[in-house]
Structure formats: structure tokens, C-alpha cells
Copies of this chain bind each other. A is one copy, B any other.
Amino acid sequence: MYFLGIDWGASIFKIGLVKDSQVLYLETADSRFFSNPGSLYSFILSFIKKHTSLRKIRGLGIGCPGVVDVRRGFVYYFPNIKGWKNVPLARILEGRLKLPVYVDNDANMVALGEARFGAGKGFKNLIVITLGTGLGAGIIIEGRLFHSPFTSGSELGHITVDYQGKRCGCGSFGCIETFVGNRYLVDYARSLLKRKPSNIIKEFLKRDKLSPKLLTQAALKGCKVSQEIWERTARILGRFLVGLVNSWGPEAIVIGGGLSGAGKFLFGPLREEVRRLAMPPQNRYVRILRARLKEKAGILGAKEGLIDYKLG
């Protein structure tokens, strides 16, 4: 028997056929391609038929790019994709596919995957953060995902680290996402480069557009401006992590997503800040780790979510 896992991020949609902890087949699409449950259903069905048959599937787990009620499998809204407001997604897909369907948040599913099969393996209490378009996170307490009473929670990206800071897409001010979200980071880099031009970056910009990846490549070539950008980003993210360590006291914080590609430029100062500024004794115990599973985390997590909360 097989499982289906879907990792529907803000930009990329991934579907995978899973057996045990292996993703046998994986397909991707543009996340905004699915503007209603009908188009989603058709895509899922054709994926199944391409690789196996419906009666060999035990169920489907979906990590969605927004706020959902996991108990009812109900989509409240997706901040970045139109057409998804108050949709009883699990009920609709269950009706059509005749399969158990579990609906959760994408960051939660990535967290569960990373916790069970990736860098979080062996820890019972951990936070998994994905740094991409925004800052997504899932929290695992005693081996189980934390869900808030009304939603999939936790929207850790929308905790302020600067109460007088700039307005965030969510409507609040100075959310951590406004410092480490991809677009915000690139905006900051652009404004800094106006004041402090960098020849190394200028070279890169002939071939590529400005991105976190380009800033890492430039930093590796010795670009001081890029290094400064990473240091600032790590320091702000570090002070945010200190709050998480003080409030949740996890054994580990696992960080993945695009920005984690900055490697030592991010993780070095991050670990330092947490050791130095978080409260004892957690500051000594907590481990800050880089995610391992890459693009398969969310698919594997969605399968685990399905088993834990729907089939279990």
C-alpha cells in the first residue's frame, strides 16, 4: 500500500507517492496553478493514475500554504493564493477520491518530516523553521505536532522583533518575516548596495538577479557587504530564536529553506547569539541544526500527519 503526500508551498507545489519513508515518485507544479478544489483534484487523480491505481492508496496528506483548521480539514485562507477562502478541502477531496484526507499547514508538514526522518530525528521537543518566501514553522512537543485550538497554528513568522518596525503583509509591525523573508532580505540588500556598492556582487549581477543564493556566493568570494548582510540577518534571527528558546525550551531548532543555504554565514552567528543570550539552562542544551531532507520533507511529513491524526 502507498500514501500520497502533498507539500503545497507559497511558490512550489509538490506531490509524492510514498512507501514507508521513501518518496517513490515526485512531481512539481506552480502553487498558483490550483485556484480551486476541482483543478487540485484532477492533478492528484492524474498523478495517481500515472504511477499506480486509486485502490492501492491508503490516504492523502496535504500541507497547505496558509491557515487551516486541522480538525475539520478546513481552509480559512491562503495569504498568497487567490480563490481559497473558507473551503472545506478535506471533505471535498474525500468525497471525490473516496480516501482519507488530512489537511494541515505546509510548515507543519515540513516540520514533521524533518523531525521524524531528518535533522530532528531523536529529539522529542523541537521547532523546525523554514526560511523561504516567509518564515514558516512547526512545533513538536513530546513527539506530536502542536496545533492551536482554532487553526493549524503556529504562525511564528508573525512575532514582532521590532514593535515600531515596518508593516508586514499580515498587517502587524516588525514581524520577524519582514527581516528574513526572501523578498524583504533582497530589498534590504538592494538598499544597502546603493550606499555601499560591491564589485563582486556587480559581477554576479551580470548573470543572475539578486537573491539570497547570490549573496551567499558573493560572501564566499569575500564580499564584505554580503557578509555584513548575513551577519545582520543572523543577529536579528538569533534574537528571535532566543525568544523561542526562552518560551518553548526546545531540545533543538532545525532550520531549512532557501536562506539556510547561507551555511556558516548564518549558523555561526546564530549559534553564538543563542548560547550568549538565551536563558540558562536551555541555552546550553538547545541545538541549532540545519535541515537535511530538502524537497522531500513536506511530502514525508504530510504522510506522517495523515497517519498520526487521521488513520491513527
CB within 8 Å of B: which residues of A?
Answer: 67, 76-77, 124-125, 141, 146, 148-151, 153-156, 158-164, 170-174, 235-236, 239-240, 242-243, 246-251, 276-282, 285
Contacts and interface: CB of A to CB of B under 8 A. Distances in A.
Copies of this chain in the oligomer: 2
Contacts of A154: 246-249
Contact of A247 (B67, B159, B162, B235): B159
Max chain B Cβ within 10 angstroms of own Cβ: one of A67, A171, A247, A248: A247
A246 B281 contact: no
Nearest to A179: B163
Contacts of A170: 246, 277, 279
Contacts of A171: 276-277
Contacts of A148: 125, 248-250, 282
For A149, A150, A235, A277, the residue with the greatest tally of chain B CB atoms inside 10 Å of its CB is A149
A164 to B, nearest CB: 7
A292 B102 CA distance: 40
Contacts of A279: 67, 155, 158, 170
A240 B47 CA distance: 44
Contacts of A242: 158, 160, 172
Contacts of A77: 280
Nearest to A273: B172
B155 A67 contact: no
A62 to B, nearest CB: 19
A228 to B, nearest CB: 16
A150 B243 contact: no
Contact of A281 (B67, B146, B159, B173): B67
